[in-house]
Amino acid sequence: MRGYQNRILKVICLLLFVVSLGNSSLYAVKSASIVLCAETGAIHHQQNADAVTHPASLTKMMTLYLMFKALREKRISLNQNLMVSKHASKQSPCKLWLKPGTTITVRQAILAMVTKSANDAAAVLAEALGNGSEERFAQTMTTQARALGMSKTVFKNASGLPHKNQVTTARDMATLSRSLYKHFPKEFAFFKEQSFVFRGQKHHNHNHLLGKVQGCDGIKTGFVNASGFNLAASVVRDNKRIIAVIMGGETARSRDKKMIQLLEANFKKAIKGGRTHQSPGRYASIGDLIHTLGPSPVNASPMDPNVTEATYSPPEPIVNNAIENEADNLDVLISDITKSQNKPKMIKAKATKHSHHKSIKHHKSSKPKAHHHKHKKKHHVKSIKQTKKSHTKHRKKRGAI
């Protein structure tokens, strides 16, 4: 009887565990990507582009879209001070640790979201535009998403902090990224800011591609456990721009590496106006790729490892030893690239009976040939001397000497 009760108890515990997993996320992490032309919207690559996942801090792109819209309509100004509420101050990291009752300007809040991906700054903007309610603002975000053609996106907050019903797709995030560029070209420049100083503290952009990948000028990173590592990127070269989105990366580094491969492989296609996917291209040199993917010390900002956050987070487990971390980033990377780009071509010599017989014969007569080489050398020296004498006689006849 007691054994039966124990089995029942184990089944109940298992069911509760499954339910708890379901509540944290309705969608499994799935890798997805899309690359499109920013001007025409032509698609150059797509993989699971319509798979439903969580946007994480890519959510902030919509918060900023609505803020840019308010700025254009002059409902708010960049230098306007916004009050920090108790609700905003309680947002989970990453954040500026704003105190209730203090103020922050609209410009500062925008830069804090773009660089540090500050969740408290996002809540401040949401309350300013949502008449004091972030929930009301989230409804406006979803309405705007539908107007832009983002059919599978639902927003529940302004920051991207975990919410089981806050969902999107890679295609919808690419649509939002392109809309930001097309509708707000001037404000789009905020996304390329690599750092931001607030109250004496410098905060660096979590986007590793800025300043390292040619032509990259934004736009946003994101991470929550339920989504994996997300990234939307914009690259412009020779007045041609492409937008790329990756969702569900396993680590920040692997996500960045895949993004660079997609950008390089599809950029020529963007210029030509093609639509089919190309296989990943190669880099000009190992040094170029190391520079692109190498560790970026400027991105080291203090974060609480126990808090699940809707922002960029370093891959786990974090390696505390700087030397070990550098070795992992450089040695492994060099080894991988060298293997893939410098594979020696193996040329198989055709073996014939004649060559095989000759080889055996040569092996047997290796000692006598040493004497033969000495004899050959003496003959060669004698030949040179005779040639010199001949030339001298000839030149004397012509009067050259």
* pLDDT given for residue 19 in this prediction: 42
Contact 43, 73 (CB under 8 A): no
* pLDDT given for residue 238 in this prediction: 87
* pLDDT given for residue 4 in this prediction: 57
* pLDDT given for residue 288 in this prediction: 44
Helix axes of 106-115 and 59-72: crossing angle, nearest 10 degrees: 150
Contact 219, 213 (CB under 8 A): no
Q: Give the chain's residues under pLDDT 70.
A: 1-29, 268-401
| Claim: this prediction has a pTM higher than 0.85 | no
Helix axes of 170-183 and 59-72: crossing angle, nearest 10 degrees: 20
Helix axes of 59-72 and 134-147: crossing angle, nearest 10 degrees: 90
* pLDDT given for residue 267 in this prediction: 80
Q: Please give the sequence-ordered ranges of beta strands (E in DSSP) within 128-285, or none if there are none.
A: 195-198, 201-204, 216-224, 228-237, 240-249
With respect to CATH, is domain 29-340 assigned 3.20.20.80? no
Which residues 6+ apart lie within 8 Å of 229 measured at CB?
221, 222, 223, 246, 248, 249, 250, 251, 252, 254, 255, 312, 315
* pLDDT given for residue 239 in this prediction: 87
Domain ranges of the chain: 29-340
Read off the tokens for 254: 């692997």
200 Rama class: left (phi>0) / alpha (psi -120 to 50) / beta: left
What is d(CA 242, CA 395) in angstroms, rounded to the nearest whole number? 74
* pLDDT given for residue 2 in this prediction: 57
Handedness of CA 291, 292, 298, 299 (dihedral sign): negative
What is d(CA 127, CA 133) in angstroms, rounded to the nearest whole number? 5
Of the candidates 182, 230, 178, the one whose C-alpha atom is nearest the C-alpha of residue 44 is: 178
Question: What are the Cα distances from residue 268, in Å, to 34, 114, 261, 378?
Answer: 16, 29, 12, 64
